[in-house]
């Protein structure tokens, strides 16, 4: 792991013993009941990543969408009519087959032991490591929820949200502004559909792009997302470095090259700009904060003990 990696793991460990970890979750939860659990998840994610690197941001996004709706209980994994997966905000989620694959292997090795919620949390962490980000220790011990309703998907951040609205949505889960900027920094990997930002590059009333954008960057986006083109076509959120977990996303924000309006505003808002500048200047600072923020987020509303269940199949309740 190296000195820096060990330091980050120690930071996360300290966070856990100062009550950041959810009640009932702990590092090494499966050390005796399923000692190879994390290895099985990591190997599965690595295999799928080898075939399709885009699976990494997909798993990270799925974990985020799970935690922001009823807590990190794997409810986003449940399939069927009117479940969370059918909500508009979740139409483009991907990576379900990775979680299902890992679950099949874990059920063979340790039946009824490892929750789908923990598999998703571990897979999100492993996705960061595979895209050259820093790994960290994940507290485990979550149990799976039994309820998944599309109508509950109503608090996810939107590409059009102001910084104030973003702060309010994160604060609802006890995530502060540093957590907000760090977690949005996860956009250093992944893509956005053209339909989420064509209003910024084609304004029919003024017949020009958003003037706060880098105007030399606009033609590139217009070429990738023509006005009458397919709105579902996807573009890297971190233009020029969309497959590597680094700080170039923040550098792009400072240059007026934020793709989504909500991302762009992190630079124009004085409070968040200070944090963006910090992360731009230090990849170690960003990695350390991202790890801390992920641990905090991954313990939103966790179910432990006698609450929830351990699903035998992640896409359906027992």
Residue 118 known to bind ligand: no
Domain interval for residue 52: 2-11+22-154
Q: Is 50 exceeded by the pLDDT of residue 4?
A: no
Considering Cα of 306, then 10, then 291, then 178, what sign does the dihedral take?
A: positive
Mean pLDDT, rounded, for 147-162 = 94
Residue 84 known to bind ligand: yes
Same domain, 127 and 226: no
Position 205 scores a pLDDT of 59
Report how far apart, in Å, the C-alpha atoms of 193 and of each of 111, 139, 190, 222 are.
Answer: 39, 33, 10, 13
Higher per-residue confidence, 128 vs 12: 128
Return d(Cα 293, Cα 174) in angstroms, integer: 11
Residue 282 known to bind ligand: no
Position 209 scores a pLDDT of 84
What's the number of domains the chain is made of?
A: 2
Residue 264 known to bind ligand: no
Determine if residue 82 is left, alpha or beta; phi over 0 gives left, psi from -120 to 50 gives alpha, anything else beta: left
% the chain with pLDDT above 70? 92
Return d(Cα 218, Cα 224) in angstroms, integer: 10
Considering Cα of 217, then 223, then 229, then 232, what sign does the dihedral take?
A: negative
Mean pLDDT of the chain: 92
pLDDT digits (tens, 9 = 90+) for 47-63: 999 999 999 999 999 99
How many CA atoms does the CB half-sphere of 242 hold within 13 Å?
17
Residue 246 known to bind ligand: yes
Residue 284 known to bind ligand: no
Residue 66 known to bind ligand: yes
The tokens for 74 are 């794997």
Position 203 scores a pLDDT of 76
* Strands (DSSP E) found in the chain: 191-193, 234-236
The tokens for 219 are 């033609």
Question: Does residue 297 form part of some domain?
Answer: no
Catalytic positions are 65
Same domain, 127 and 170: no
55 near 128, Cβ under 8 Å? no
Question: Does residue 302 form part of some domain?
Answer: no
Same domain, 216 and 262: yes
Q: Specify the residue for token string 């492993």.
A: 126
pLDDT digits (tens, 9 = 90+) for 95-104: 999 999 999 9
Same domain, 167 and 146: no
Q: Is 50 exceeded by the pLDDT of residue 178?
A: yes
Question: Does residue 121 form part of some domain?
Answer: yes
pLDDT digits (tens, 9 = 90+) for 120-146: 999 999 999 999 999 999 999 999 999
Same domain, 146 and 169: no
Question: Does residue 34 form part of some domain?
Answer: yes
Mean pLDDT, rounded, for 282-307 = 96
Mean pLDDT, rounded, for 184-198 = 95
Q: Is the pTM of this model over 0.85?
A: yes
């Amino acid at each position: 792991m190296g000195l820096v990696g060990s330091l980050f793991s120690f930071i996360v460990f300290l966070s856990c013993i100062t009550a950041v970890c959810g009640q009932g979750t702990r590092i090494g939860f499966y050390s005796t009941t399923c000692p190879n659990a994390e290895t099985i998840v990591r190997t599965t994610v690595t295999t799928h990543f080898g075939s399709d690197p885009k699976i990494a941001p997909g798993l990270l996004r799925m974990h985020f969408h799970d935690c922001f709706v009823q807590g990190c209980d794997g409810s986003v994994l449940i399939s069927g009519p009117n479940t969370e997966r059918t909500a508009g905000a979740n139409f483009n989620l991907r990576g379900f087959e990775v979680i299902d694959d890992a679950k099949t292997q874990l059920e063979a090795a340790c039946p009824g032991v490892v929750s789908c919620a923990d598999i998703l949390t571990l897979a999100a962490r492993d996705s960061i490591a595979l895209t050259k980000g820093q790994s960290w220790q994940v507290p485990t011990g979550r149990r799976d929820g039994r309820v998944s309703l599309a109508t509950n998907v109503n608090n996810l951040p939107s590409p059009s949200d102001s910084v104030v609205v973003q702060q309010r949505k994160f604060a609802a889960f006890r995530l502060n502004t540093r957590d907000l900027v760090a977690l949005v920094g996860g956009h250093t990997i992944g893509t956005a559909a053209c339909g989420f930002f064509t209003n910024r590059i084609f304004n029919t009333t003024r017949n020009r792009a958003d003037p706060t954008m880098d105007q030399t960057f606009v033609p590139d986006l217009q070429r990738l997302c023509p006005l009458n083109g397919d709105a579902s076509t996807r573009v890297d959120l971190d233009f020029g470095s969309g497959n590597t977990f680094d700080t170039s996303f923040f550098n792009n924000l400072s240059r007026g090259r934020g793709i989504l309006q909500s991302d762009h505003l992190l630079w124009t808002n004085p409070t968040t700009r200070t944090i963006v500048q910090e992360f731009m200047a230090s990849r170690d600072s960003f990695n350390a904060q991202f790890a801390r923020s992920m641990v905090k987020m991954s313990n939103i509303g966790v179910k432990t003990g006698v609450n929830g269940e351990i699903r035998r199949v992640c896409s359906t309740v027992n």
